[in-house]
Amino acid sequence: MAQVTLKQLRYFEALALQGHFGRAADICSISQPALSVQIKDLEHALGAQLFERGPREVRLTSLGEQMAGRIGDILRAVDELGDVARAASHGLAGRLRIGVIPTVAPYLLPRVIQTLSKAHPEVDLHIRETMTPRLIKELSEGRIDTAIVALPVSEPAFSEVELFTERFVLVRPGADRDKPVPSPEALREMRLLLLEEGHCFRDQALSFCNLTTAAPPREMLDGSSLSTLVQMVNVGVGVTLIPEMALEIETQSAQVSVARFPEPQPRRSIGMIWRKTSPMAAQLAQLSEIVREAAR
């Protein structure tokens, strides 16, 4: 059997995840023909076809499905060799892959990056912004080292460290500035703008209103970002809830009013999670202190 290379295995993983040669090639920073050649060489080395090639998409064959888990394990084990080396240095250095949820990333990351760059310029930071379920999956698979998410995650395989808590605030049209703050019950009868399904902040807002995704408010509209929600409020479409850390950025270009709810105010806890088995656990705990300080 011809020799199988780690490069080929990484190309296999990218293609399996993307299901498209063009997208996989972009992620791997090579040309599409070069990726195709490497995949064919891998299939030749293994003596079997791993992908079913269609005109618009690529699918794993039955054997490819069986191989995907094993190849993932091999690549994670190789990546952990680097983690062990970094852990042995007793400090933050080298590649560091951090995942962050979208309702935190734009508001916290600039301060974290600035603080980390000054204190540890030798760190090669890689940021991944996406929703919590995907971050949990990628963390489990070893594709990121840690993630900043809303707690609790309650995954037995992860360590959780709380970084800070923050309140939710009500954003409504500027003309409503002097009106009483609506109760959670009253919000159910208003046109409530929330993030689209998949965002944990959406679920937290619904929970505050004592609603579930199966029983949404009477008139609810979904948005793809907090910026979209605030701008919709700006033109009088409805009202929305946003986390306190987003206030300065999201309301500076909108003619809206901001109100805080009476106690008990809605809150969320933001924390860092990482695999309990990670060789970098001590370094990630050190990083959590840096993030906590930046958040202040």
pLDDT of residue 136: 94
d(CA 240, CA 226): 9
61-69 mean pLDDT: 89
Q: Is residue 201 part of a domain?
A: yes
Tokens 């002097």, residue located: 178
Asked if 33 and 158 sit in the same domain, the reply is no
Of 83, 99, 132, the domain-final residue: 83
Q: Where are the alpha helices (DSSP H) in 89-157?
A: 105-119, 132-140
Residue 97: inside a domain: yes
* pLDDT surpassing 70 at residue 229: yes
Residue 61 and residue 145 in one domain: no
Is 226 inside any structural domain? yes
Q: Are residues 155 and 219 in the same domain?
A: no
On whether both 178 and 100 belong to a single domain, the answer is no
Q: Does a structural domain hold residue 73?
A: yes
- Tell me the C-alpha distance between 78 and 160, whole Å: 25
Same domain? For 132 and 263 the reply is no
Residues 273 and 132 in one domain: yes
Q: Domain containing 74 — which CATH number?
A: 1.10.10.10
The answer to whether residue 105 sits within a structural domain is yes
Specify the CATH number for the domain of residue 285: 3.40.190.10
Number of domains forming the structure of the chain: 3
Nearest to 86 by CA among 77, 96, 78: 96
Query: What per-residue confidence (pLDDT) applies to 249?
Result: 93
282 lies in the same domain as 155: yes
- Identify whether 155 is part of a domain: yes
pLDDT for res 183: 87
CB 229 within 8 A of CB 254: no
3-state helix, strand, coil in the chain (%, to 5): 45, 25, 30
pLDDT at 108: 94
Q: Are residues 288 and 247 in the same domain?
A: no
Question: Which domain, by its residues, includes 71?
Answer: 6-83
Check whether residue 175 and residue 135 sit in a common domain: no
Same domain, 76 and 94: no
pLDDT at 1: 54
Stretch 256-268: mean pLDDT, rounded?
90
Using DSSP bridges, classify how beta strands 267-275 and 146-151 pair: parallel, antiparallel or unpaired: antiparallel
Band (203; pLDDT cuts 50, 70, 90): confident
Q: Are residues 199 and 248 in the same domain?
A: yes
pLDDT, tens digit (0-9, with 9 covering 90-100), for 100-149? 999 999 999 999 999 988 888 888 889 999 999 999 999 988 889 999 99
Helix (H, G, I), strand (E, B) or coil at 240: strand
Q: For residues 244 and 231, what is the distance between their CA atoms, to the nearest angstrom?
A: 16
Is it true that the peptide bond before 152 is cis, omega within 30 degrees of 0? Answer: yes
Assigned domain for 1 exists:
no
Instruction: State the DSSP H helix or E strand holding residue 26, giving kind and residue range, or none if neither.
Output: helix 21-28
Quick one: which of 63, 16, 62 has its CA closest to 35? 16
**Residues 47 and 243: beta-carbon distance below 8 Å:** no
User: Coil, strand, or helix at residue 103?
Assistant: coil
Q: What is the DSSP code (8-state) at residue 215?
A: B
Let me know whether 183 and 263 are in one domain. Answer: yes
Residue 218 has pLDDT above 70, yes or no: no
CA distance 113 to 107: 11
181 within some domain: yes
